[in-house]
A and B are shown apart, each in its own frame.
Chain A
Amino acid sequence: MTDATMTPESARPSRSLIHEDARTKKRNASERRFRAYGIAAIFTGLFFLVALLAAILSSGLPAFRQAVVEVPFTLTQEQYDAAEKALLKTGIYTDYFVTSLTQTMESEGVEIEFDEKAIERLLGKVGGDLRKFYRANEDQLEASVSFELAAASRVDRYLKGTFAREDLQSGNRFFMPEDFDLIDAMRDAGLIKQVFNWNFLTGVDTGVDNPGGAGIGASVLGSFFMMLVVLVLSLPIGVAASIYLEEFAPKNRFTDFIEVNISNLAAVPSIVFGILGLAVFIQFAHLPQSAPLVGGLVLTLMTLPTIIISTRASLKAVPPSIRDAALGVGASKMQAVFHHVLPLAAPGILTGTIIGLAQALGETAPLLLIGMVGFVARYPGTFVEGFIEPNSAVPAQIYNWAARSDAVFTEKAWGGIIVLLLFLITMNTIAVILRRRFERRW
């Protein structure tokens, strides 16, 4: 048998360790080529990563700064009472503010021709903020209060340099060419300035005509509550299922069938879970629409296979000698698993769980179907309401903003991506720290 492949000793070419023969050269060359491919692949990956990060940061960081109009403003009791009687109360507050700002500008010596319409164009939607402040602080009536209120989106973009004079061919009711001079004059008078946009981090979504006021805070909270539901449900269920399958279940056709199905479930497109969630949780179980609870349940279904697969892999990686030793000194099977195998597998389980959560965090498609992609503009009142009140999620909010016509919303969508990335990095850091802490080598 082996004779056929054996080469007679005499026919073998003489070899030297110092001089490479042709075949060795060829092999070495192909190895060098392979290394070059590998390095090229890594650099291509790195290039895209850097390009992506640069694009995200350059487009998204401006969202964290905002042009504001800073003016001292006094509201009288009379004005307050009159405004509260109107239907569109915020509109009246805006009018008061415009009038007051016009007077301030005259006294500050802004020497450019302007009318109240121009001031209105340059202001964001200030009425809502004003009314909220005075409703909460009625004692501030008649007193001079210094407000920092969002300027209109074009003012914001002009100060950030993304909207220049040459971009404007002709004016319309949103902006007129002469408004540029007015902005310059107001900036010189210290009435308009750029500040860090805290509202972007703490605020809620706004209507399309108020890009300056939009914030991602409520949707971050929505994502947080969803992740809480996912963690609380998928970790115990996933770990219990994998421990049973790995340590206790008999090996037969039925468990094989289950295993194959779990692997397949991990590859099911997420939108399918969204349809399932709509049919089961909302239409059958009558859970509230647009609620993080339902979103969390849907994402739990999506995350379970990931967690089960990674948990089983880390259970498998625990050496059998550990189990044998435990059983050998008289531990029951359950004691062996819970006292010895599970603690050793914990770092792997945690990593798998957090990867699963991170995947769920970025998911938009299933949320589309259960009504979480929409206009939701408020914070939940209490902890329990956080689960059942309608809310959005960070990726859904980004998707929403990216579809709006005002360029400041697009900027905020990029800013939202930065927030999402920070959220993810935090989760991954926790995973790394936990892993380091509990990892045991043998």
Chain B
Amino acid sequence: MGTKILMGGIIKKMLRQETFMSFVKLTTSALALSAMAATAAVARDQVQVAGSSTVLPYASIVAEAFGENFDFPTPVVESGGSSAGLKRFCQGVGTEHTDIANASRAIRDKEIKACAANGVTDIIEVRIGYDGIVFASQIQGPEYTAFTPSDIFNALAPKVMLDGALVDNPHTQWSDFNADLPATDILAFIPGTKHGTREVFEEKVIAAGCEATGAMEAMIAGGMTEDDAEDACLSVRTDGRSVDIDGDYTETLASIDANTNAIGVFGLAFYENNTDKLKVATMSGVEPTTETIAKGEYPVSRPLYFYIKKAHIGVIPGLKEYAQFFVADEVAGPDGPLAAYGLVSDPELADTQQMIADEETMGSNS
């Protein structure tokens, strides 16, 4: 009541000043409308997606095409990283929670448990295809044209093998450990820990290099258990030569632009969109292209996923149709728009399509 009188007083006074009249009318009507909106039912009619920033480009392509080709509204896709997306996905069942989580890695057991604790039990796992991770540098920069996992490990690991012993990484230049590489300062921009890309980088490059150089054996010989040695193999040096990038590839690109000697880790599609600024290095002699990744020749690639909350199918209109559209041959197949943007299409796409049609959840067939 008190505020009503107060508002009334203001309005009465202001009404005398003519210019205010329309303004006040607008304000009061908008107030009424927003109150109505707040109390209106909040039923959601569009699919809500969150997760990996690597999957986001593909998801946005599909979301736009879905809106153009169906009568359902265009889905809303947010990014923020695989872990963040899965965390939100696992918060519960209900229209205020997301329907789909995009991920650039498979869901972890820990996350499945967290999901189950919040009542999210039936999850459909959809593999949409593969993505390659490339090492690239400034186009006019030093000749970083060929790397092996061992090179990256020698450059970026905290402890490396030197003359048969495990020592703190003394390398400051690439040529310190491989005479074929240029004599330039080591500086690498790698994805930060909240990115799914980081995991692939650690497992397929650093850990592989750790084994290949014999550092892992030396660690075990030095009294570590195998598990500890595996974990130790995943770490990178912290003296500033390896820099974590928590943002998107654009941030990595900006860092590369500013540092002639640096190398950066990118997704294949991002590199191919910026070939006027970046040159790519081969890994173990294989050039990263969609073909070499599809054949499994290029070693640093990973599958991309999204996860559907089965309880939302039938509640959120268009959810199943969106998932089916995403993995349809016309979209995710080798000639579809996703492949045109850089996704390496999954040879087992037909199985995935069947799985969505049957709404087969994780663990239901094992």
Which A residues are closer than 8 A to B by beta carbons? 86-91, 127-128, 131-132, 163, 167-170, 172-174, 205-210, 228-229, 231-233, 235-236, 239-240, 243, 282-283, 286-290, 293, 296, 334, 338-339, 342-343, 368, 371, 373-378, 383-384, 387-388, 390, 402-407, 410, 437-438
Contacts and interface: CB of A to CB of B under 8 A. Distances in A.
Given A87-B330, A289-B48, A232 B34 contact: yes
- The winner among B37, B275, B279, B340 for most chain A CB atoms within 10 A is B37
* Interface range on chain B (Cβ under 8 Å from partner): 35 or more
B259 interface: no
B30 A375 contact: no
Nearest to A385: B37
B273 A405 contact: yes
B77 A374 contact: yes
Contacts of A170: 275
Nearest to B16: A343
B3, B30, B57, B276 — which one has the most chain A CB atoms within 10 A of its CB? B276
A378 to B, nearest CB: 5
B61 A163 contact: no
Nearest to B53: A403
B138 interface: no
Contacts of A404: 57, 250
A375 B330 contact: no
A388 B9 contact: no
Contacts of B7: 236, 240
B33 interface: yes
B46 interface: yes
6 contacts: A168-B275, A174-B273, A207-B62, A210-B61, A384-B36, A403-B251
A232 B33 CA distance: 11
A404 B267 CA distance: 12
Contacts of B297: none
Given A88-B69, A88-B328, A232-B27, A207 B64 contact: yes
Given A172-B275, A403-B250, A405-B250, A208 B341 contact: yes
A170 B280 CA distance: 12
A207 B331 contact: no
A371 to B, nearest CB: 6
A156 B270 CA distance: 19
B61 A228 contact: no
Contact of B68 (A128, A163, A168, A290): A128
Contacts of A403: 53, 247-248, 250-251
B325 A290 contact: no
Contacts of A283: 91, 96
A179 to B, nearest CB: 14
A87 B78 contact: no
A239 B10 contact: yes
Contacts of B79: 373-374
B269 A206 contact: no
B60 to A, nearest CB: 4
A342 B10 contact: yes
Nearest to A372: B78
A127 B330 CA distance: 14
B63 A438 contact: no
A330 to B, nearest CB: 18
B64 A128 contact: yes
Given A374-B79, A390-B76, A207 B61 contact: yes
B217 to A, nearest CB: 40
B1 interface: no
A240 B250 CA distance: 46
B258 to A, nearest CB: 16
B246 to A, nearest CB: 12
B33 A387 contact: yes
B249 A405 contact: yes
- Greatest chain B CB density within 10 A among A233, A371, A374, A407 is at A374
Given A286-B42, A289-B96, A405-B57, A169 B139 contact: yes
B141 interface: no
Nearest to A163: B276
Closest 3 A/B residue pairs (Cβ): A374-B78, A207-B61, A88-B330
B76 A88 contact: no
A168 to B, nearest CB: 6
Given A88-B336, A289-B48, A289-B96, A438 B17 contact: yes
A296 B37 CA distance: 13
A288 B42 contact: yes
A192 B9 CA distance: 62
A229 to B, nearest CB: 6
Contacts of B44: 288
Nearest to B12: A338
Contacts of A240: 3, 6-7
Interface in B122-150: 139
B313 interface: no
Given A87-B325, A207-B65, A405 B13 contact: no
Given A88-B331, A172-B275, A371 B63 contact: no
A384 B37 CA distance: 6
B33 to A, nearest CB: 6
Contact of A236 (B3, B63, B96, B274): B3
A209 to B, nearest CB: 5
A216 B328 CA distance: 30
Interface in B245-263: 247-251
A141 B188 CA distance: 56
Given A168-B276, A232-B34, 13 more contacts: A88-B65, A169-B279, A170-B275, A207-B62, A240-B3, A283-B96, A289-B76, A338-B10, A375-B78, A377-B63, A388-B40, A390-B48, A405-B273
Contact of B96 (A128, A132, A286, A437): A286
Interface in B60-118: 60-65, 67-69, 73-80, 91, 96, 98
B337 interface: yes
Given A207-B60, A342-B10, A404-B250, A371 B42 contact: no
Given A208-B341, A288-B42, A384-B40, A402 B250 contact: yes
B59 interface: yes
B78 A387 contact: no
A86 B330 contact: yes
B203 interface: no
Given A228-B30, A342-B10, A132 B74 contact: no
A208 B267 CA distance: 14
Contacts of A282: 96
Nearest to A128: B68
Nearest to A375: B77
Contacts of B77: 374-375
A285 to B, nearest CB: 9
B337 A228 contact: no
Nearest to B32: A232
B167 interface: no
Contact of A377 (B31, B40, B74, B341): B74
